[in-house]
Structure 1
Amino acid sequence: MKDLTQGSIAGHLVSLAVPTAAGMLFQTLYYFVDLYFVAALGDAAVAGVSAAGNVMFIVLALTQVLGVGTVALISHAVGRKDQQDANLVFNQSLLIAALCGLIVIVAGYLMAGPYLQAVAADEATIEAGKAYLYWFFPGLALQFALVSMSSALRGTGIVKPTMVVQVLTVLLNTALAPVLIAGWGTGYAMGVAGAGLASTISIAAGVVLLSVYFGRLEKYVSFHPEQWQPRVAVWRRMLSVGLPAGGEFALMFLYTAITYWAIRDFGAAAQAGFGIGSRIMQGIFMPAMAIAFVVAPIAGQNYGAKRMERVRETFRVASVQCVSVMLAVMVLCQWRPEALVAFFSKDPEVIRVGALFLHLISWNFVMSGLIFTCSGLFQALGNTVPALLSSASRLLVYAVPLMWLTSQPGYQIEHVWYLSIAASAVQAVISVTLLRKQMRLQLGLPATQPA
């Protein structure tokens, strides 16, 4: 356990964010590795895997419910020096992880076909998406156990073991992808199904590695089978924080699904370009997202310890760091976005759409950095409803005009990206406004400075 209620806030943010960013970057490489080999299979394969990958937002929504609730409650318990409650929360999160994994397996196989029928551009894209998902669903189910353990560690201020496991699993996925997708060394190419299987095997390996770490090395929170019976009171506490945060990711799923629907008439190449551009954007968001991720345990421990001025300082410092990082990646996407997309596809139309997406959407990046930071503070304060409200406002501002735009004779794909910029601006304003109000309510007025 690392005590984050003492020492430099900026130092804690950097020391936790650097390994977190490294782990998240390697985690994102899962998708880049798959995408690189899948791209050789054609536009339909890329579009199918990209559309299928959007299902991950639903799984991420559920893992966010689990992860945010776990981090918030454990960080508060650590701030109060209440190890018994921290262990109870961790073991109940493991039980919830097992139940959620079972739900994903059953619902996933039932709903994959209808979802792809609704958003894919053609039959080839639908078949590619189904082949990928059918082999990836077991891995998605195992994500819950991975999130439960890594969130418990993050709540106690420990992030390096998770980073090491993420690096090792990505290396495994990198080794398996060409073998399973392209048939290197075996002569048996599974295509997009191999991409899903490679990820599932790698995630399973990560679960085993983190389980070994908890069994042998972790002392503050650990496995206690006697605490695996359902505790409704603990579930209620976790869900009160986690459900709104999970709702944010569910809205992200809807946001992306609506985008695929809105551009479907531009063809598989356009959907592939958007899919590649989206994956690149997720990758370059990692440093800023890492800062936002570690805001929750830092501010959460200080909130549990009732050190309110340090909670405010966490927001101030993290905001500056996030905005600075986002400005840097914005410049990159304004400069040569086509070079980023061309690494994954040689199709001129795919490159054109992906580069246009990155060039325009990069105007969102600074606003996204503020939104990420606000979300981390809401988690630390144990009230994530305002973050859900700001995400809902973004979806409303985006989806309603977009449905009208698609029926207009002069409708072009860049209109989608312009509308996205406007929606993100609205969300940023609402997020900051709601956070300022929440901080006044829960932290009180800032201490007055001496004259």
Structure 2
Amino acid sequence: MRDLTQGSIPRLLAGMAGFIGFGLIVQTLYLLVDLYFVARLGGPAVAGVAAAGSVMLFVMALSQAVSVGALSLIARAIGARDAAGAQTVFEQAIGMAMVAGAATLLAGYPAGGSLMTVLSADDRTAMAARAYLFALLPSLALMFPGAALGAALRAAGIVGAPMAIQSATVLLNAALAPVLVAGWGTGHPFGVAGAGFASSGAAAIGTVAQVVLFGRLDTTLQLRAAAPRLATWRRIAATGLPASGEFLLMFVISGVVYWALRRYGSDAQAGFGIGSRVMQSIFLPAMAVAFAAAPIAAQNHGAGRADRVRATFRATALTGSGIMLALTFLCRLHPDLLVRVFTGNPTVAAVASDYLRVVSWNFVAMGLVFSCSAMFQGFGNTGPALAGTASRLVTFVLPVILLAHWPQATLHDIWRLSNASVVLQASVSLLLLRRAFRRHLGTPVSGRGHVTESIG
């Protein structure tokens, strides 16, 4: 257990973000490894994996209901020195995760095929998407217990050992992918399904390792079975569901873009799939800073350290914006360097590079969105983050639907519209965070180095 209410905040942020960032990179490599080997199977296979990847975003969204709720409640309990309360939340989060994982399998196999047909531009793409998704579903179900375990450790400030486990699972996935996708050494290739099998196998082994080693990673929280407490489930859900809704809206936004790109063909869909996947990957350093900020803010909020909560936001926003500015220059100058490894199709590569070059203008704004979201998690009130993302339904989704029926619309129109909507989202998030600061932290005392805590 690590006390995040003491010590230099920039140092805490940098130390935790380093481990978290490496872990996020490792996690993202699952899909990048799959994409690398599947790219050799042609454009429809890449587009199919990208379409099925949107379902991963959907399941990740659902897992946030457990992950964010557990992290916020456990971290605040730790900050308030309430060990029993932290243990109760952890036990109930594990129970919720097991139920959600089972539900993912029960719903995914019957409904996944129809969804892939809707999202895909043609029959070949839909067939590839279904094959990949059905093989990937076990790993998606395991996201829930993995998220609950990871949230508890992050709330306690423990990030190094989970990163090591994730690294090992990615190496395993990278080893399995060529064997199962291309049939290296066996002569029995499974194609796109092999990529899903590789991810599921590696995820299963990684989850078992997390469970076995959990007791050694944290000496305070105990991994044990407990009867459901619906009141605690409601507390976790009340904090986590808005964050889950935020991710679900991202799934909707991604799905609408895939739908709108059908008129441009599978190469456009594949290019967007590669470009968006690369963009998510290069965002990882800024996301790591935000992920590190959430437990720091939560522990200090639980301890009544309003001054340190404000300092956490300042450090997070400045660091995240600096990272995103550097990424903007990278994508403006040489986006082709980031996408060429994933495709030999010049049309797909051109779409992916062009996407990164245009949308890079919104990177700094997106970094501010990440920073605000972390603070809302620290307060245990993720509703404002949901409101910020929901604004994109009006500023992006509806216009994209209209553009899809306008014959003169180009891909650039969609990318530029995305830029404008992200900037507006960042503005909404900052305004809502300012209000949250006043509600939870009170008003800074003039001439003093701390902030008075508001009552209630």
- For the aligned pair, the TM-score class normalised by the smaller chain equals over 0.9
Matched, 1:110 2:110: yes
Percent identity of the aligned residues?
48
1:401-420 to 2 correspondences below 5 Å:
401-420=399-418
Which amino acid in structure 1 is aligned with residue 105 of structure 2? I
How far off its partner does 1:404 sit? 1.4
Q: What is the alpha-carbon distance in structure 2 between the residues aligned to residue 159 and residue 396 of structure 1? A: 37
| Aligned residues of 1:284 and 1:329 also touching (Cα < 8 A) | yes
What is the CA–CA distance in structure 1 between the aligned matches of 2:98 and 2:401, rounded to whole Å? 38
Q: Residue 184 of structure 2 corresponds to which residue in structure 1?
A: 184
Deviation at 1:288, TM superposition (A): 0.2
Aligned to 1:203: 203
Partner residue of 2:22? 22
State yes or no: 1:99 paired with 2:99.
yes
Specify whether residues 326 and 266 from structure 1 end up closer, same or farther in structure 2 by C-alpha distance, changes over 3 A only: same
Pairwise CA distance, 1:220: 1.1
Q: Secondary structure at the match of 2:223?
A: coil
Alignment of 1:29-428 (within 5 A): 29-225=29-225, 228-428=226-426
Q: What's the offset of the Cα at 1:450?
A: 5.0
Range with bigger deviation, 401-410 or 121-130: 401-410
Helix, strand or coil at the partner of 1:105: helix
Judge conservation of contact 1:309–1:447 (CA < 8 Å) in 2: no
Whether the 8 Å contact between 1:80 and 1:304 is mirrored in structure 2 is yes
Supply the distance in 1 between the matched residues of 2:378 and 2:72 (Cα, whole angstroms): 6
- With 334-343 and 125-134 compared, the bigger mean Cα shift is at 334-343
Looking at structure 1, the residues matched to 4 and 447 of structure 2 have their Cα atoms a distance apart, in angstroms, of 24
C-alpha displacement of 1:218 = 2.5
CA–CA separation in structure 1 for the residues paired with 2:396 and 2:416: 10
The runs of 5 or more residues in structure 2 that have no matched partner are: 450-456
How far apart are the structure 2 equivalents of 1:299 and 1:151?
Answer: 14
Q: Give me the whole-angstrom Cα distance separating, in 1, the residues matched to 2:215 and 2:81.
A: 22
Q: How far off its partner does 1:224 sit?
A: 2.5
Q: Is the 8 A contact 2:385 2:429 kept in 1?
A: yes
- Per the TM alignment, residue 33 of structure 1 is displaced from its structure 2 partner at its CA by 0.7
Give the SS at the match of 1:97.
helix
Using the TM superposition, give the Cα deviation of residue 217 of structure 1 relative to its aligned residue in structure 2, in angstroms: 4.4
Alpha-carbon RMSD across the aligned residues, in angstroms, is 1.0
How big is each residue's C-alpha offset from its partner over 1:139-178, in whole Å with a ceiling of 9 and x where there is no partner?
1001111111110000111111111111010000000000
The one-letter amino acid paired with 2:341 is F
Q: Which of 436, 439, 446 is 1:438 aligned to? A: 436
Q: Contact 1:70/1:151 (CA < 8 Å) preserved in 2?
A: yes
Matches of 1:18 and 1:414, distance apart in 2:
35
Distance 1:419 1:216 in 2: 49
Structure-1 separation of matches of 2:113 and 2:181: 22
| Residues 45, 192 of structure 2: 8 Å contact kept | yes
CA distance in 2, matches of 1:238, 1:269: 42
Distance in 2 between residues matched to 1:3 and 1:447, nearest whole Å: 26
2: CA distance between counterparts of 1:325 and 1:170?
A: 25
CA apart distance, 1:236: 1.2
The one-letter code sitting in structure 2 at the alignment partner of 1:148 is A
AA in 2 matched with 1:61: A
How far 1:406 moved relative to its partner?
1.7
The one-letter amino acid of 2:386's match is L
Measured against aligned partners, the alpha-carbon deviations of 1:68-88 in whole angstroms (never above 9, x if no partner) come to 001000000100111111111
The aligned residue for residue 454 of structure 2 is none
Q: C-alpha separation between the residues in 2 aligned to 1:55 and 1:309?
A: 40
**Gapped regions of structure 1 (runs ≥ 5):** none
| Cα deviation, residue 338, structure 1 | 1.5
Tell me, in whole angstroms, the C-alpha distance in 1 between the residues paired with 2:284 and 2:357: 18
Q: Structure 2: how far apart are the matches of 1:419 and 1:24?
A: 28
Q: Is the 8 A contact 2:158 2:217 kept in 1?
A: no
Could you tell me how far 1:216 is from its partner in structure 2? 4.0
Instruction: Give the 4+ runs in structure 1 shifted more than 2 A.
Output: 215-218
Per-residue CA distance 1:51-103 (angstroms, 9 max, x = gap): 01100111111111110001000000100111111111111111001100011
Give yes or no for contact 2:120–2:126 (8 Å, CA) kept in 1.
yes
Supply the distance in 1 between the matched residues of 2:415 and 2:38 (Cα, whole angstroms). Answer: 26
Partner of 2:452: none
Aligned residue for 1:343, secondary structure, equals helix
With normalisation by structure 1, the TM-score equals 0.98
